[in-house]
Every structure is written in structure tokens, then in C-alpha cells.
């Protein structure tokens, strides 16, 4: 051992000298993970700078509001072909501001022409006015001593293939019997928020944000599996099997082996009883029809958010509750309904009460983060699937029978006369000639 000690000492001296001279070579290896994370953050920030959102206010005329809602559904179906990056979306917004009902679209600048053309194809007389974000009129550090903020995000309560109530469910029964659809003689769910906007203060901002985007590959596969798993058994087809994890392959092989080895005498085959064909109820038939229509429609990954900004002295709890009532109009027991995205743990609700009472700074911080998400139109943690028909039911121009002071419409524009239009000569000149 004593003989090896000088050798180890010599090696140690050599290693120390090498490290003193070439220590910087090990630095990239040590800092590699940190560099990768910094590069990812830089790439995200660079992408955000490249993404230039533009804002359009939709000024619609009386003629646009008289059109059947199928025109808006066609618009939502046609924009399905417009591709977006994974972190981008199109936000359709119904806003109560300055005691008026206004419509906005926020979208990436590179697709603004495509969306504009698609919308004008259905509503030629609509006017898209470029503008800036209406949230710029309030302080960016909300909540503060001057402003209060409220917001909630929603998701579907049931599986995505189940739709909510759509616009054709709000028609009068007489119209359904006659099969003559007329929005003018039907109930418009937007009338709730239109009445709400009338009771707001001028400085208040109430906003419904509907953010949509296309499926990515993983979301598309999940949607197809979920829809087929739900729909196929209802129509007598075999439901697709979920892909089993690799870890279960070995146990499955063992199970099949022992099932084949164990004699049939030990486990004699069971005699299957003849099952009578099951007859579907009317509710089940209606559910199958609704699911089928949604699957065959244009569908989007959607986030839904309600928000309310007001001064502290004018903040009214009645406005958030009424806004939620508007959303609940689309709920149905046999199909789908909206519910708030919140922590499902039972103890969390009691913790929130204690937190707000003893640690208000935490609550203010969380509210500010929600405000930043609202202003940035960032997606919620959990998205859900909405069809073009469902989107139309939420985002459409109000029916004629709900026009009130808060609805501002553009006057129909007079177009130029057609070329080569014949005209009548001066009658007095003709009489003089005679």
C-alpha cells in the first residue's frame, strides 16, 4: 500500500494541473442543461415577438343581423382550413364597453386577410375597423387601489362529443312545427347580456372571450378516440380499444398463456343466454343524433373566459352572476353543459376562504395572473371541443327583436350606380324641340 501511495500522489498532481489549465473544457458540459432551458425561453420570446396580434371591431348593419345564423356557422366552418401555430389562437369577443355591445376579433396578423375575406363572403356589408386592445384603457397592474377584476374560465362537464344547446334549440315551437326558421320571432340568448350592458357604468368592461385553434396531432388523435368510444356503442359498433402501454404487453402474454394451459374441465364454458335486442329510448336517439352532428361538423379546441373590470367603488356583484347566467342558458341535462374550471379537491374551497381572509396578497397575485391571461388571450389549462354550430350559438349578431339602445349598428352603405346606366333626357328640352 505504501508503494502505491507515491503513484496516487503523482496522478493527483497531474489531474490538478490539467484542471488548472483546462477547467474551461468542463464548463459547457456542466452548463449544458441550463443552456438548453435558456435557449427554449429565448425561442419562445422570439416567437412572441414575431406574433403580432391585430384587433378588428365588427360593425354590422341591420341587413347582417337579419341573415339566418347558418351564415355565421358557414364562416366558422370555413376558417377551419386556416392553419395556426400551436401557441396561437383566434379570439372572438363580445364586449360591453361604454354602455354598448361591441364585437371584436383578435388574430395573428399573417392570417388577417384570410379571415377578413372569409367573413365578407358571408356578410359583404360588414365593416372591420382596425383598432387596439380595449384593455389598454385600464391600468396594467390590476387589481389595485383603483380597479377590481373578476374572471372565470369554463369547460364542458361531460365528454367533448356531447354538444351544448345550439341556436336552433332557441326557436319557437311553432316555427319548429312549420319548419320555417325565423330568428326575428325567436328568443336570442344574447338578450341577457345586452340587458346587462345597459345597467353597467360607462367605465366598466365586461368581456366574453371565445378562443379557438386547430387540433395538433396529439389532440386530434385523442378527439377521434373519444368520439368513436362514445358514438360506436350507441349505434351498435365496436368501440376502439385504447392502445395498451408497453409494460402491460408481458402480463397480457402470460395471461393468454395460462388461459390456454388450464384445462377447460376446471372452468367449463358458460352457457350464454339469449339477449333480447335493446330498444333505444327517445332521449338516447336524440343524444346519438346530436353526437353524430357534432362529429361531422368542423370542430376546434376552445377556451371560454368571462371577465369583468370595474372601479372599486362601482364594482357590482350582480354583473358576474348575470354573466354566468348567460352561459348557463346553453346547459342541458341530456347533452352537455358548462362548468367552471376549478380545483376539484374538497378541502381547496375552505383553503380559499382562509387564504382570502388571512393572506389577501396571495389572492391579489392570483387575480393579477388571471388578468394577464385575459389581456394576453392565453389558453386555459384545460381546453374543450366546440363545433362551428356551437360557436355560432355563442357568437352571433343579435336578432332584430332584441335591438335596444346598447346595440350600435352601421347604416347600410349606398353603393355606386352600375356602369352604363341609361338616363332620361331633360323633358323641357324635348318639349321645346317639339
In this predicted model, what pLDDT tens digit does every residue of 102-135 receive, in sequence order?
A: 999 999 998 999 999 999 999 998 999 999 999 9
Is 90 exceeded by the pLDDT of residue 10?
Answer: no
Is 60 exceeded by the pLDDT of residue 266?
Answer: no
pLDDT value, residue 198: 77
What would the mean pLDDT of 5-25 be, rounded to a whole number? 76
Portion of the chain with pLDDT greater than 70, in percent: 74
What would the mean pLDDT of 382-410 be, rounded to a whole number? 80
Strands 100-108 and 127-131: unpaired
Determine how many CB atoms are found less than 10 A away from the CB of residue 95.
21
For the chain, how big is the Rg over CA atoms in Å? 31
Residue 302 grid cell:
376552445
3-state secondary structure of 281: coil
Spatial contact of 385 and 302, defined as CB atoms under 8 Å apart = yes
Band (pLDDT 50/70/90 cuts) for residue 265 is very low
Which H helix or E strand runs over 209?
A: strand 205-213
Band (pLDDT 50/70/90 cuts) for residue 408 is low
pLDDT value, residue 149: 95
Is 50 exceeded by the pLDDT of residue 175?
Answer: no
Q: Could you tell me which residues come within 8 angstroms of residue 60 by beta carbon, excluding any fewer than 6 positions away? A: 103, 123, 126, 127, 397, 409, 410
CA-to-CA distance for 143 and 152, rounded, in angstroms? 15
What would the mean pLDDT of 24-47 be, rounded to a whole number? 71
pLDDT value, residue 312: 92
Is 80 exceeded by the pLDDT of residue 410?
Answer: no
CA-to-CA distance for 9 and 1, rounded, in angstroms? 13
Spatial contact of 106 and 327, defined as CB atoms under 8 Å apart = no
pLDDT value, residue 176: 41
**pLDDT tens digits for range 285-320:** 777 888 899 999 999 999 999 999 999 999 998 999
Is 70 exceeded by the pLDDT of residue 275?
Answer: no
Determine how many CB atoms are found less than 10 A away from the CB of residue 10.
10
Query: Comparing 8-22, 153-167, 323-337, 393-407, which segment has the lowest mean pLDDT?
Result: 393-407
pLDDT value, residue 368: 94
Determine how many CB atoms are found less than 10 A away from the CB of residue 186.
18
Band (pLDDT 50/70/90 cuts) for residue 184 is very low
**Bridge partners, residue 407, by sequence:** 101
The answer as to CATH 1.10.10 being correct for domain 49-222+300-402 is no
Amino acid at each position: 500500500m505504501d508503494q502505491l501511495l507515491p503513484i496516487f500522489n503523482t496522478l493527483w498532481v497531474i489531474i490538478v494541473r490539467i484542471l488548472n489549465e483546462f477547467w474551461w473544457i468542463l464548463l459547457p458540459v456542466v452548463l449544458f442543461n441550463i443552456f438548453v432551458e435558456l435557449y427554449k425561453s429565448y425561442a419562445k420570446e422570439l416567437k412572441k415577438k414575431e406574433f403580432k396580434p391585430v384587433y378588428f371591431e365588427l360593425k354590422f348593419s341591420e341587413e347582417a343581423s337579419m341573415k339566418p345564423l347558418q351564415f355565421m356557422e358557414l364562416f366558422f366552418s370555413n376558417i377551419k382550413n386556416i392553419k395556426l401555430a400551436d401557441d396561437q389562437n383566434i379570439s372572438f369577443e363580445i364586449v360591453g364597453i361604454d354602455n354598448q355591445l361591441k364585437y371584436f376579433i383578435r388574430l395573428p396578423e399573417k392570417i388577417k386577410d384570410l379571415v377578413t375575406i372569409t367573413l365578407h363572403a358571408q356578410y359583404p356589408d360588414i365593416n372591420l375597423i382596425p383598432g387596439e386592445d380595449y384593455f389598454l384603457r385600464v391600468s396594467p397592474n390590476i387589481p389595485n387601489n383603483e380597479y377590481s377584476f373578476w374572471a372565470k374560465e369554463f369547460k364542458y362537464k361531460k365528454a367533448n362529443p356531447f354538444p351544448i344547446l345550439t341556436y336552433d334549440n332557441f326557436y319557437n315551437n311553432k316555427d319548429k312545427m312549420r319548419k320555417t326558421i325565423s330568428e326575428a320571432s325567436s328568443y336570442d340568448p344574447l338578450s341577457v347580456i345586452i340587458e346587462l350592458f345597459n345597467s353597467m357604468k360607462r367605465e366598466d368592461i365586461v368581456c366574453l372571450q371565445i378562443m379557438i385553434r386547430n387540433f395538433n396531432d396529439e389532440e386530434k388523435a385523442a378527439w377521434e378516440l373519444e368520439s368513436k368510444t362514445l358514438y360506436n356503442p350507441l349505434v351498435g359498433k365496436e368501440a376502439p380499444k385504447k392502445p395498451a402501454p408497453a409494460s402491460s404487453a408481458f402480463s397480457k402474454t402470460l395471461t393468454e398463456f395460462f388461459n390456454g394451459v388450464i384445462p377447460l374441465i376446471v372452468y367449463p364454458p358458460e352457457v350464454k343466454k339469449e339477449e333480447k335486442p335493446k330498444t333505444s329510448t327517445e332521449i338516447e336517439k336524440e343524444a346519438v343524433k346530436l353526437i353524430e352532428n357534432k362529429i361531422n361538423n368542423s370542430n376546434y379546441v376552445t377556451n371560454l373566459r368571462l371577465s369583468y373590470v370595474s372601479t372599486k367603488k362601482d364594482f357590482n356583484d350582480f354583473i358576474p352572476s348575470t354573466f354566468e347566467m348567460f352561459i348557463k342558458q346553453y346547459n342541458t341535462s341530456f347533452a352537455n353543459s358548462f362548468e367552471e374550471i376549478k380545483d376539484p379537491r374538497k378541502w381547496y374551497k375552505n383553503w380559499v376562504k382562509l387564504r382570502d381572509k388571512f393572506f389577501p396578497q396571495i389572492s391579489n397575485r392570483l387575480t393579477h395572473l388571471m388578468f394577464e391571461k385575459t389581456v394576453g388571450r392565453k389558453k386555459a389549462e384545460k381546453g374543450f371541443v366546440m363545433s362551428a354550430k356551437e360557436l355560432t350559438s355563442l357568437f352571433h349578431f343579435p336578432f332584430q327583436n332584441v335591438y335596444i339602445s346598447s346595440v350600435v349598428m352601421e347604416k347600410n352603405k349606398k353603393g355606386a350606380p352600375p356602369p352604363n346606366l341609361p338616363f332620361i333626357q331633360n323633358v323641357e328640352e324635348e318639349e321645346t324641340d317639339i
